[in-house]
């Protein structure tokens, strides 16, 4: 059993407004690779930053499509881990709870979380890169990227790439939840990709108690009120049990 500081336990027991920001680390124990981990196998020669951009898609659409197809298959085969479930439990205890995620894997929803703000889209969805129409089905081809049935534009994953802006509604809701929360969690994120990374700092500036749970220290660690280093799939269930168990 982990020892959590009693002040933190008390804050959480009394809290009515909590915001949580998650990153790729919360899905690591579900078998999905984090972004800044080394790529494996076939993809080891590419950096994610060189695949997840409109420029990369314009230059080599099939390469980018295939990388996402590969990641989509991994996401489809993945199951939530105890960290995802603990966050769904936490939501039930807190009247105003927002789960802001940078993840595109859909695992928070699968675990039962309700108020989810997906800042970077969802890898399971596919839309036209030109007219934006969502595609329910498409035919995979060895050579070509599938095309939109409506306008013949190239299909692409419904995720936010570097150089693209975040969905306005989700971002505004995330900023609002960050401003008004009493406790803010930053979990499984390296905290280097903006604007998501700025949320924890904003929460701190607004007077929230900020808690980091991450496998290793990040640029945020020295700024937070409480930092726990380890696996979120182990720490979160223990924390939920310690506060509400
Ligand atoms: N539990 C907690 N933290 C973990 C675990 C785990 N089991 N495994 C790894 N981590 C930590 C790593 O130490 C790292 O600090 O999770 C963090 C993951 O960081 P990134 O790979 O940078 O992922 P993320 O912060 O989500 O990336 C942000 O960058 O490429 C873009 O759009 C992409 O959403 C992504 C964004």
39, pLDDT greater than 90: no
104 and 129 housed in the same domain: no
Q: Is the CB of 48 under 6 A from ligand 1?
A: yes
153 and 127 housed in the same domain: yes
147 and 227 housed in the same domain: no
Domain count for the chain: 2
233 and 144 housed in the same domain: no
**Is 229 part of the annotated catalytic residue set?**
no
44, pLDDT greater than 90: no
* Tokens of residue 66, six digits: 């295939």
Instruction: Please state the atom number of ligand 1 nearest to the C-alpha of residue 218.
Output: 15
56 and 86 housed in the same domain: no
Query: Considering 111, 132, 159, which residue would you say is the last residue of a domain?
Result: 159
19, pLDDT greater than 70: yes
CATH assignment of the domain containing 67: 3.30.1600.10
Q: Is the CB of 81 under 6 A from ligand 1?
A: no
- 3-class DSSP string for the chain: CCCCCHHHHHHHHHCCEEEEEECHHHHHHHCCCCCCCCCCHHHCCCCHHHCCCHHHHHHCHHHHHHHHHHHHHHHHHCCCCHHHHHHHHHHHHCCEEEEEECCCCCHHHHHCCCCEEECCEEEEEEEECCCCCEECCCCCCCCCCCECCCCCCEEEEEECCCCCCCCHHHHHHHHHHHHHCCEEEEECCCCCCCCHHHHHHHHHHCCCEEEEEECCCCCCHHHCCEEEECCHHHHHHHHHHHHHC
Report how far ligand 1's centroid is from the alpha carbon of 119 (Å): 14
Active-site position among 84, 108, 120, 201: 120
Query: What per-residue confidence (pLDDT) applies to 90?
Result: 98
pLDDT level of residue 40 (50, 70, 90 thresholds): confident
38, pLDDT greater than 80: no
**Over pLDDT 90: what percentage of the chain?**
87
| pLDDT tens digit sequence for 88-144 | 999 999 999 999 999 999 999 999 999 999 999 999 999 999 999 999 999 988 999
53 and 104 housed in the same domain: no
182 and 215 housed in the same domain: yes
> What residues make up the domain containing 213?
1-32+80-120+165-245
CATH assignment of the domain containing 235: 3.40.50.1220
Would the pTM count as exceeding 0.85? yes
192 and 233 housed in the same domain: yes
217 and 142 housed in the same domain: no
107 and 209 housed in the same domain: yes
pLDDT level of residue 1 (50, 70, 90 thresholds): confident
Report how far ligand 1's centroid is from the alpha carbon of 183 (Å): 21
30, pLDDT greater than 90: yes
| pLDDT tens digit sequence for 200-226 | 999 999 999 999 999 999 999 999 999
Among 2, 22, 25, 185, the mutation site with the greatest number of ligand 1 atoms within 8 A of its Cβ is 25
Report how far ligand 1's centroid is from the alpha carbon of 153 (Å): 32
Query: What per-residue confidence (pLDDT) applies to 35?
Result: 81
């Amino acid at each position: 059993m982990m020892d959590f500081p009693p002040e933190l336990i008390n804050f959480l027991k009394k809290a009515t407004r909590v915001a949580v920001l998650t990153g790729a680390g919360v899905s690591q124990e579900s078998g999905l690779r984090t972004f800044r981990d080394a790529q494996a196998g076939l993809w080891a020669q590419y950096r994610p930053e060189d695949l997840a951009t409109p420029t990369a898609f314009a230059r080599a659409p099939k390469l980018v499509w295939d990388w996402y197809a590969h990641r989509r298959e991994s996401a489809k085969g993945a199951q939530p881990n105890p960290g995802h479930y603990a966050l769904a439990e936490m939501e039930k205890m807190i009247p105003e709870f927002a789960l802001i995620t940078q993840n595109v894997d859909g695992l928070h929803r699968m675990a039962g979380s309700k108020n989810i703000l997906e800042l970077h889209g969802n890898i399971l969805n596919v839309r036209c890169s030109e007219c934006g129409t969502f595609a329910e089905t498409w035919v995979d081809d060895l050579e070509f990227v599938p095309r939109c049935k409506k306008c013949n534009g190239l299909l692409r994953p419904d995720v936010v790439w570097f150089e693209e802006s975040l969905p306005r509604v989700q971002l505004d809701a995330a900023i609002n939840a960050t401003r008004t929360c009493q406790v803010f969690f930053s979990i499984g994120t390296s905290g280097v990709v903006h604007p998501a990374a700025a949320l924890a700092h904003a929460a701190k500036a607004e007077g929230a108690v900020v808690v980091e749970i991450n496998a290793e220290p990040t640029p945020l660690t020295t700024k937070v009120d409480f930092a726990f280093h380890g696996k979120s799939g182990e720490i979160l269930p223990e924390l939920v049990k310690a506060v509400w168990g």
